[in-house]
Structure 1
Amino acid sequence: MTTVLPRDAPAPTRRRRPRFTFWTGVTAATILVFVVLLLLPLFSLVISSFAGKQSDDVSLWQVYVTLFTKPYYYKALINSFVLSIAAMALSLIIGFPLAYCVTRFNIAGKLIIRAVIVLTFVSPPFIGAYSWILLLGESGVLRRWLAAVGVTLPPIYGWFGLILVLSLQGIPFVFLMVSSALKTVDQSIEDAAINLGRGPIAVIRTAILPLIVPGVSTAALLVFVTAFSDFGTPAIIGQNLRVFPRLVYNEFVNETTGGNFTVASALSVVLLAVSICALLAQRGYAERRSYGQEVLRPLAVQRIGGVRRLLATAFVYAVVFVAALPIVTVVVSSFLESKHSVITGNFTIEGYLQAPRLWSSLLNTLMFATVATLLCVVFGALVGYVTARFRTRLASFIDLMSMMPYAVPGVVLGIAFALCFAGAPLFLGGTAAILILAYFVRRLPYSIRSTSAMLSQMGTQTEEASINLGVAPGKTFLRITVPMMTPALMSGALLTWATVAREFNATVILYGSRTTTMSVEVFREVLYGNFGNASVVGTVLIAVSIVPIVILFKALGKDEDVLL
């Protein structure tokens, strides 16, 4: 029997199969890259932590039980918490008033102050550790000068040195975050508080501080996580003080002399868990304390004079001088004659001509940083477009995955890559490939964030017009979108290059005899007591890290906010 439909009845519709488009392929490739280079290594790390010999009497969790019941391990964890909290607190105590004074008061030389802060921010972190040995070590220059006037300081090694160095390394984080947060406060808020009779301190405490809590808490998080996961600084000046990253490294590299990959993996999982928990706690706290506000008139610079200006200026320049002193020490000592750990006062450039592995490590650093940066730029442009233009669950998942590398400490990522890719079937251990892949996934968020931020401010009319005229999505992206977001790509590339060049924590796990970078070379020379060679390589490394930032600021007109 045949059914006759009315003439005006709609024809039956067929369910269309989803077409495979250019951006579908990009999305699939993006997920594959994150799965292979991020999730798979971290999964291998977790599996390795349960890979010890098991029996009916020993549970899978025995290694974790041991970590939290054996004093050798849990005391190191406590030491890391105490050290990180102390560094975080001291950085906030010094960095917050520093940022407030520079941002709000008419202090002379603000450009120089900000330039020095940026310099200390992008310079390799552990360089400050061994430069303080030159200054406050047993025969340090500054220690001898202070002893001559009757001032005796505690030893630079151990708790005092670690808290000092890690706090100074954290001050730029606080300065940049607080300065940026202050720009989001409207002047009317301060005016209203003053009209209600509040004094200067009360205005900051009751009106301004509650509005910049998200920025302050982010700075605190960055300092805490950086200090908690730092390996180089405790290894150089920590002496016998056990902290968690040192245990992770020692357990991993001492496999042939009694170490244990299972314990190293378990320690890495704990380190990763601490970082992720700190990140989640900060985000939850910041969201609860966040206030939606529209800034029509940013906070104005207050003109102060007399004793107030003198005290504010003295405080700012004193902090900046102490923060920059390690870099100045490294650069100056690189031009002085040295004999192993003794640096004389004789000027010479022989160190640059005779440094044994300077040029090979420089070549490796330049090559690895360039290749990793190119990968980040290409992949970051595509991923940034997906996260900014497509409002789907898959795009949200990719956006979340792209931020995950922020929460993974360098030592943890290095061990995860070593476990996943160093052995069969790839055997990439110690090669340039494994280092470049680690740098790529670790620094990819810079390119993604800069690209997506610019695309979110750009309309889609030009792209839609191109597609409507018959141009394929891929060609539209290359011909229309990429030229428009070139400034963002350049910004992300320069920032990526600068941070890859100074990367240490992941490199020290993954490098081989032929893939030594400058950061590792500085570390090795310090451990061997060759402070002259360390200063030479360190000075070149500082220059390599600074040049992209100078280009970023001068050629692209960026300010220090781009570093956040």
Structure 2
Amino acid sequence: MRYSGEKRFSMWTSFSLIILAIFSVFIIYPLALVLYKSVVDPHSGSFTLDYLLKFFTKKFYWSTLVNSFQVTVCSTLLAALIGLPMAYVMRSVKIRGSSWLDILIVISYLSPPFIGAYAWIQLLGRNGMVTNFINELFGITFDGIYGFAGIVLVFTLQSFPLVYMYVSGALKGMDNSLNEAAESLGCGRVERIMRIIVPLIMPTLLASSLLVFMRVFADFGTPMLIGEGFKTMPVLIYTQFMSEVGGDDGFAAALCVIIITLTILMFFAQRFLANRSTYSMTALKPMAAEQAAGLKNMLSHAFVYLVVGLAILPQAVVIYTSFLKSNGGQVFTGGFGLQSYEATLFAKDNEVIWNTYMLGVISISIIVVLGILISYLTVRKRNVLNSTLDTITMFPYIIPGSVLGISFLFAFNNPPILLSGTALIMIIAFTIRRLPYTVRSGTAVIGQISPSVEEAAISLGASEMKTFTKVTVPMMMPGVLAGAIMSWVTIISELSSSIILYTNSTQTLTISIYTEVIRGNYGNASAYSTVLTITSILSLLIFYRLTGKRDISM
């Protein structure tokens, strides 16, 4: 939208150029440096493909890529197979306590996957509560959930809420008269679902499945904790770069290039498929939940309660074990006590908690400002420059956090921009990595605001900037806050990039949880995790309070 009398080079063009310059320094330059290091010999400075050949010619390395695809594909399919029927049942059948179940589903998604991993270790690990019960009951030796099956279990239960939230939003906007018309023509329930509902929500299902795919493919903590011999690409990248016997920067860079190429190809493939099957409709008669009876009612409630119970179980286990008596946070001795909290929150200076909140608040403040500006520019000031800006904004989302962390160390470990080891590099990484949530949410909401509202304000004498700050921004805020809450919670639970960038002075809660789990201090890890879980829940409740919503629209 270009207002009458607006100059070709305006204040908005300046904003676009400034943001693009920032992204060039903190996204394009680090990634270009990764590409450079992957094909240049560090000694001779000549072009080489040795690092890439090393990966593809040795099974030990390329098998990790196969492992990653196996885990990711299985987890994504299972998440879709659970999330889709969950959304349909919750939208079509009246479920007791559905509003609370929605909140529990969101909470289960907001928790970092690796917390779910170590919670399941306490349940189904070699010495887990459920494992011991099964072994004593059946007289067998169950070896736990380690490896492929355990990783898929954790990822599936942690990822299906994303599919659920997206599909639930799509069903909310679907015109149910189409479903009723098909029913009047003799279509059965299953046939209506497969031939009408699924095709209509397919773009949303593909979009949510892509997000699940990217998240699972890029996750480092879960396979690191319970993978044991089953290595994935993020774990290989981390171990190659951080090896105690001297990491190989060139090979780590080549691994980063491979994973960047794959994620970008998958991203554009999903967008192509989604664009081919896009539908637009107005929900003149939205789908409404109806009271079911008999077997259908019992099965619907049983299915929903079972899935939600399994999804929220890791958080319940974490909170429960944090109050068990322990020997220095390592061995649970029976009964309840506060030893885990005494060994963590009260026995230490708690810098990790302060760091988490401080870095998070600064990052989310920058994200909200940039998110509003970028959303406005890409929707209201459409041009090649802002389209480029919009595309670059998505890069950090589809690129694994470990890759971003390594690229930052490559780029900012030496003058003239020396940032490694500082809090600033953590803030920049968090901001760049979690900005897309707020940008996508802000873009969606401003697309629903009629330009005539802004034009009316300008016609009454308000300047364009005043119209933007007094009219547009307030109308955007509900959508921006929806994205901001996702950005905030994922910032405070970020592990993949921070595990590479942190120092002792910038250690956060997630890093502390991870290190305690690695040491076997499950009590201490539970105490830290409980603080993180309570923070996520309070953040969600504050969001509901500020916006008046009872869900996070996706």
Q: Which residue of 2 aligns with 1:431?
A: 422
Q: Which residue of 2 aligns with 1:395?
A: 386
Q: Which residue of 2 aligns with 1:108?
A: 96
Contact 1:225–1:275 (Cα < 8 Å) also in 2:
yes
Q: Which residue of 1 aligns with 2:220?
A: 231
Alignment of 1:174-213 (within 5 A): 174-213=163-202
Alpha-carbon distance between aligned partners in 2 of 1:196 and 1:486, rounded to the nearest angstrom: 44
Alignment of 1:317 onto 2:308: no
Alpha-carbon distance between aligned partners in 2 of 1:141 and 1:547, rounded to the nearest angstrom: 30
5+ residue gaps, structure 1, are: 1-15
Alignment of 1:60 onto 2:51: no
Q: Which residue of 1 aligns with 2:321?
A: 333
Range with bigger deviation, 106-115 or 449-458: 449-458
Alpha-carbon distance between aligned partners in 2 of 1:403 and 1:447, rounded to the nearest angstrom: 11
Change over 3 Å in CA distance of 1:472–1:175 after alignment to 2:
closer
Alignment of 1:143-154 (within 5 A): 143-150=131-138
Range with bigger deviation, 279-288 or 152-161: 152-161
Question: Structure 1: which amino acid aligns with 2:202?
Answer: V
Which residue of 267, 272, 278 maps to 2:266? 278
Which residue of 377, 393, 396 maps to 1:386? 377
Range with bigger deviation, 453-462 or 125-134: 453-462
Q: Which residue of 2 aligns with 1:308?
A: 296
Change over 3 Å in CA distance of 1:484–1:464 after alignment to 2:
same
Alpha-carbon distance between aligned partners in 1 of 2:436 and 2:227, rounded to the nearest angstrom: 31
Alpha-carbon distance between aligned partners in 2 of 1:286 and 1:461, rounded to the nearest angstrom: 30
How far is the alpha carbon of 1:246 from its aligned partner? 0.6
Output the TM-score relative to the length of structure 2.
0.93
Which residue of 114, 127, 147 maps to 2:115? 127
Alignment of 1:109-508 (within 5 A): 109-150=97-138, 155-254=144-243, 257-339=245-327, 340-355=329-344, 357=348, 359-460=350-451, 463-464=454-455, 473-508=464-499
How far is the alpha carbon of 1:482 from its aligned partner? 3.5
Alpha-carbon distance between aligned partners in 1 of 2:533 and 2:139, rounded to the nearest angstrom: 32
Question: Structure 1: which amino acid aligns with 2:312?
Answer: A
Change over 3 Å in CA distance of 1:242–1:459 after alignment to 2:
closer
Which residue of 20, 24, 30 maps to 1:35? 24
Which string of whole-angstrom CA distances, capped at 9 and with x for unpartnered residues, describes residues 277-330 of structure 1?
221111111222223333211223243211121112111111111111111000
Contact 1:54–1:60 (Cα < 8 Å) also in 2:
no
5+ residue gaps, structure 2, are: none
Alpha-carbon distance between aligned partners in 1 of 2:229 and 2:405, rounded to the nearest angstrom: 24
Output the TM-score relative to the length of structure 1.
0.91
Change over 3 Å in CA distance of 1:494–1:226 after alignment to 2:
closer
Q: State the Cα RMSD in Å.
A: 2.4
Alpha-carbon distance between aligned partners in 1 of 2:399 and 2:549, rounded to the nearest angstrom: 28
Which string of whole-angstrom CA distances, capped at 9 and with x for unpartnered residues, describes residues 252-291 of structure 1?
112x613201111111111112211221111111222223
Q: Which residue of 2 aligns with 1:21?
A: 10
| Number of aligned residues | 546
Question: Structure 1: which amino acid aligns with 2:292?
Answer: I
Secondary structure of the residue aligned to 1:344 is strand
Secondary structure of the residue aligned to 2:494 is coil
Question: Structure 2: which amino acid aligns with 1:333?
Answer: T
Question: Structure 2: which amino acid aligns with 1:536?
Answer: A
Contact 2:176–2:286 (Cα < 8 Å) also in 1:
yes
Q: Which residue of 2 aligns with 1:11?
A: none
Secondary structure of the residue aligned to 2:361 is helix
Range with bigger deviation, 231-240 or 177-186: 177-186
Question: Structure 2: which amino acid aligns with 1:103?
Answer: R
Question: Structure 1: which amino acid aligns with 2:159?
Answer: G
Contact 2:39–2:47 (Cα < 8 Å) also in 1:
no
Alpha-carbon distance between aligned partners in 2 of 1:461 and 1:285, rounded to the nearest angstrom: 33
Question: Structure 2: which amino acid aligns with 1:124?
Answer: P
Point out the structure with max Rg over C-alpha: 1
Contact 2:489–2:536 (Cα < 8 Å) also in 1:
yes
Which string of whole-angstrom CA distances, capped at 9 and with x for unpartnered residues, describes residues 65-108 of structure 1?
22112111111111111111111222222222222212211221
Which string of whole-angstrom CA distances, capped at 9 and with x for unpartnered residues, describes residues 164-197 of structure 1?
1111112112211221222232212211222222
Contact 1:99–1:175 (Cα < 8 Å) also in 2:
yes
Which string of whole-angstrom CA distances, capped at 9 and with x for unpartnered residues, describes residues 44-68 of structure 1?
1111112335779x96222112211
Which string of whole-angstrom CA distances, capped at 9 and with x for unpartnered residues, describes residues 423-481 of structure 1?
33222112100000011111222332333333333344565566567765445534444
Alpha-carbon distance between aligned partners in 2 of 1:455 and 1:373, rounded to the nearest angstrom: 20
Q: Which residue of 1 aligns with 2:507?
A: 516
Alpha-carbon distance between aligned partners in 2 of 1:471 and 1:77, rounded to the nearest angstrom: 56
Alpha-carbon distance between aligned partners in 2 of 1:230 and 1:490, rounded to the nearest angstrom: 25
How far is the alpha carbon of 1:510 from its aligned partner? 0.6
Contact 1:98–1:316 (Cα < 8 Å) also in 2:
yes
Contact 1:22–1:474 (Cα < 8 Å) also in 2:
no
Secondary structure of the residue aligned to 1:180 is helix
How far is the alpha carbon of 1:217 from its aligned partner? 1.6
Alpha-carbon distance between aligned partners in 2 of 1:309 and 1:507, rounded to the nearest angstrom: 46
Q: Which residue of 1 aligns with 2:73?
A: 85
Alpha-carbon distance between aligned partners in 1 of 2:171 and 2:265, rounded to the nearest angstrom: 27
Alpha-carbon distance between aligned partners in 2 of 1:561 and 1:246, rounded to the nearest angstrom: 32
Alpha-carbon distance between aligned partners in 1 of 2:139 and 2:234, rounded to the nearest angstrom: 34
Question: Structure 1: which amino acid aligns with 2:403?
Answer: V
Q: Which residue of 1 aligns with 2:541?
A: 550
Range with bigger deviation, 33-42 or 217-226: 217-226
How far is the alpha carbon of 1:352 from its aligned partner? 1.6
Contact 1:177–1:215 (Cα < 8 Å) also in 2:
yes
Contact 1:123–1:546 (Cα < 8 Å) also in 2:
no
Change over 3 Å in CA distance of 1:139–1:19 after alignment to 2:
closer
